[in-house]
Structure formats: C-alpha cells, structure tokens
Structure 1
Amino acid sequence: MKKIVVLSGAGISAESGIRTFRDADGLWEGHDVMEVASPAGWKKDRALVLDFYNQRRKQALAAQPNAGHLELAQLEQDYEVVVVTQNVDNLHEKAGSSQVIHLHGELFKVRSTIDESLVYDLDGWEMNLGDRCDKGSQLRPHIVWFGEMVPMMEEAVREAMTADVFIVVGTSLAVYPAAGLINYVGAEVPKFVIDPNMPPLPASDNLYLYPEKATTGVKKVAAYLRESLKL
C-alpha cells in the first residue's frame, strides 16, 4: 500500500472557523503572541495563559471538520496516510484520520510543569490554577510555545523520508522546523502544495501546485492520485 504523508497548517482549520495562530499584526485574539505562547508569558501571568487556552478549547469544541479534513481521512480507504499537522486542534481526528502527528502540541491535552512525560487528556475545555499533576505541580497546556523544542519533529522526519506522496495543505511553509519537512522527502516523490497564498518553491518536475483552499484542493489532489498517477 502506497504511503501518503500530509503536512497541514492553519489554513485548513481556518475553513472550519478556527482562528489562525497569528494574524498579520502579530496578535492572537487581541493578545501579543508572546504573552500567551511563550515560557516567559507563562511565568508572567499563568491565569491569562490558562484562560486563553480555555477559550481556544471552547472554540475548537464547536468546530467541525471541513471537506479538506474529510477528504484526507477518506484517502485511508486506499492508502496509508500519516498527517503531520502544525495545528493543535483535533479536527483531523474528528474527520477520521487515524495517524496524526501534532508538531505543536494538542489543545485537549495538558502536562506537568516539572515532568514533561506526565501528559493527560483534558476532560472538557477548562483548566484552572491549582489543577495539578500526579507529582503536585501545576498543569500547563500541552502546547509547543515559542522558544521550546518540537519533540515530535524527529518522528515527522522519519515519516517524510518514507513517503510515496507528500501533500502540503494550508501552510505558508514559513514556520520552522515544520517548513523544512519537505526537504526530507525523496527527490523522486510527487509533492502537492495546496494553499491560496502559494509559498515560494523551487521549480521541480514532480511538484504540483494548487493555489486554492483546502476544501477544494484536497479533493482535486485525491482525484489526481487515483486517476492520473494511478496510485
């Protein structure tokens, strides 16, 4: 069975009503991103950070997968599909994707502030000051903040290196290290990039560009894989 590796970004979730991580003026829901997505912000005002992610969870609970998410999940009927996502929401899982790697963490998980191996599923959307891990420390969002390591990157690189097809959807390929994942894909591997704001990419015989939204682009790529490439 052929293996498809997908790198997804904020654009695919935006079509489900999830606000993008950072807009043009460097604000996220009215906050400087460093106030709510950095170790320094957490140290300065834990209550603000916890409330911020509580609101993001409430928003995500109401969101539903769109046609892009659903089409990627449908590909599992014919291929092995691994989704590597920069998104922290669970829309890929809601759509039915069974292999999802979250590079930047998961909104509905929390972890210990003294032992990163202690990760818990969050029941509902709310986490508060005083919520503690089994070792007695305050819990924090299971999110990769600015300045922190991306622990799932090594696994994502391994998947990219074994891809028969590589699909990029809804990302500008501007956030590293995730943006560098395409460089680990074999030169002979067909690569599809779907985004209305097409990132600059070097020309290649096996590079296919779809300058459109995920809801339409993923369906076209899926049809092309089945009909033209006979994969």
Structure 2
Amino acid sequence: MTKIVILTGAGISAESGLETFRASDGLWAQHRVEDVATPEAFARNPKLVVDFYNARRAQAAEVSPNAAHRALARLEAELDGEVVVITQNVDDLHEQGGSQNVMHMHGSLKGALCAACDHRWPAPMVMAPGDPCPACNAPAARPDIVWFGEMPYDMDALFEHLAEADVFAAIGTSGNVYPAAGFVAEARRAGAQTLEFNLERSAVGNQFAEHRVGPATQTVPAWVDEVLKDNKSA
C-alpha cells in the first residue's frame, strides 16, 4: 500500500489570498517576527501579539481553499493507500478543501491554549489578553500557535510518518525553517521518492529528486492526476 506524506507551507495558501511569511506587504511586513511570534514577545506585549493573531484569524476567515488544497483532498479520497498532510500553516484551508488526515505542526488560528494548564479550546474570533481558561480559570489564554523558539507539535508522530513514506512531497515551503526543512532528508533516508512544488527552488531544493516549478494550483492537481492514474493501473 502506497504511503504519501506531504509537507505544505505558506505557498499553498498564497493563491487563496493569504500572504506568505516573507511577503513584502501585508500583516507580516508590518511587524518584526521578534515582536509578534515568540514567547518573549507575548510576555513583553501580549496585546500586540493577540491583536496580530486576531487580524490573521479574521483574514483567514475570508478566504477559501484553492485547487491545490482540493487536489490533495481528492488524492486522499481516491488513492489506494495512505495520504498524510503535514502543514506548517495555521489556517484550516486543507480541512475546508476536504482533507481528513491533516497534522498542524505549528498550531491553528482557530485554537486557544492556556499557558497555565495547557488546556485547549476553540478560539473566539477576537481574543483578548487575560482571557480566562475555561478549565482552570487562569487569565492565561494565548493563541494555540507554535512560536519561534517553541517545539512544533507531534514531532514523534511526524518522524514516524516520514520513516514510512514511499513518497514525500513538499509544496510551497521555503526550506528556511527547521525542523520542517529537514523532513526531506529524513524521507530520503527512508528511501522515499522526493519531489518539491514551488515557484522556485527552496533553500533545500537540491535535496529533492524532482521539482515542479509553477503555481501550486496548476502543478499540484496535475501531479495528483498522474499519481491516481498510476495507482489505478498498478
């Protein structure tokens, strides 16, 4: 049975209208990462951080999944095998597009986390600093986002999937952020076929056996068609 593990980054959501982390305009360009996406930033200025993620949450609520998201959902539904999507994105466009087996290694805009007791619950559209935790009542609510300097979620399970992969594909990732940038090396060690989808080669592009250059809404559906055709004829 074929197992395909797919890593997605900001590039797959860019065509839905969500700017990438390194976009020259938009939300990220208005703030330094150190001011809005680290534990130290939250300790220093929780209102700035919470307001930033409120704005990101509002923006994400206005966009829809694109052809690349829908193609990956079709791959999962129709492949005679297993498809695991590991995403660095904090939007839920994969789920909206129909994917079921999605792992959010960097958390989710739709989640809230208690910094005191680690309880998680659905985030309101607008969070406020000092919101109480519904479990322990501590005024310690924060966005359920993995910030720079924090450990991504479910790392043991992610590496297990990489070790079992027959195919590893990275879509719309920069290759600049670890540990995700090291996933291709893990998959290669396990003997997986590796391919990268991007507008240009990523920082770790030389580690992939195959590259598909172009918009994800074009390259990903074409690849899914190929995979499903080969899968049916095998």
Q: TM-score, normalised by structure 2?
A: 0.89
Query: What amino acid is the match of 1:119?
Result: R
Q: 1:169 to 1:203 in 2, by over 3 A?
A: closer
Q: How many residues align?
A: 226
Contact 1:132 1:139 in 2 (8 A): yes
Aligned to 2:179: 177
Query: What amino acid is the match of 2:217?
Result: T
SS of corresponding position for 2:184: helix
By how many angstroms is 1:153 displaced?
A: 2.1
Q: 1:71 to 1:135 in 2, by over 3 A?
A: same
By how many angstroms is 1:154 displaced?
A: 1.9
- Unpaired runs of 5+ residues, structure 1, are none
Aligned to 2:201: 198
Aligned to 2:52: 52
Query: What amino acid is the match of 1:135?
Result: C
- The C-alpha deviation readout for 1:101-148, integer Å capped at 9, x for no partner, is 1111111001001122x111124x111123111212220000111111
RMSD: 1.9
Q: 1:203 to 1:97 in 2, by over 3 A?
A: closer
* Between structures 1 and 2, the one with greater helix share: 2
Query: What amino acid is the match of 1:208?
Result: E
SS of corresponding position for 1:132: coil
By how many angstroms is 1:71 displaced?
A: 0.2
| Distance of 2:64 and 2:29 partners within structure 1 | 20
| Distance of 2:105 and 2:207 partners within structure 1 | 27
Aligned to 1:152: 154
By how many angstroms is 1:164 displaced?
A: 1.8
- The C-alpha deviation readout for 1:58-109, integer Å capped at 9, x for no partner, is 1001110000000000002222211000101000010010011111111100
- The C-alpha deviation readout for 1:130-174, integer Å capped at 9, x for no partner, is 311121222000011111112322221111111121111001212
Query: What amino acid is the match of 2:52?
Result: F
| Distance of 2:159 and 2:172 partners within structure 1 | 19
By how many angstroms is 1:43 displaced?
A: 0.9
Query: What amino acid is the match of 2:51?
Result: D
Query: What amino acid is the match of 1:17?
Result: G
Query: What amino acid is the match of 1:12?
Result: I
| Distance of 1:6 and 1:52 partners within structure 2 | 28
| Distance of 2:207 and 2:99 partners within structure 1 | 31
Off by >4 Å, runs of 4+ in structure 1 = 228-231
Query: What amino acid is the match of 2:195?
Result: F
Query: What amino acid is the match of 1:122?
Result: A
Aligned to 1:71: 71
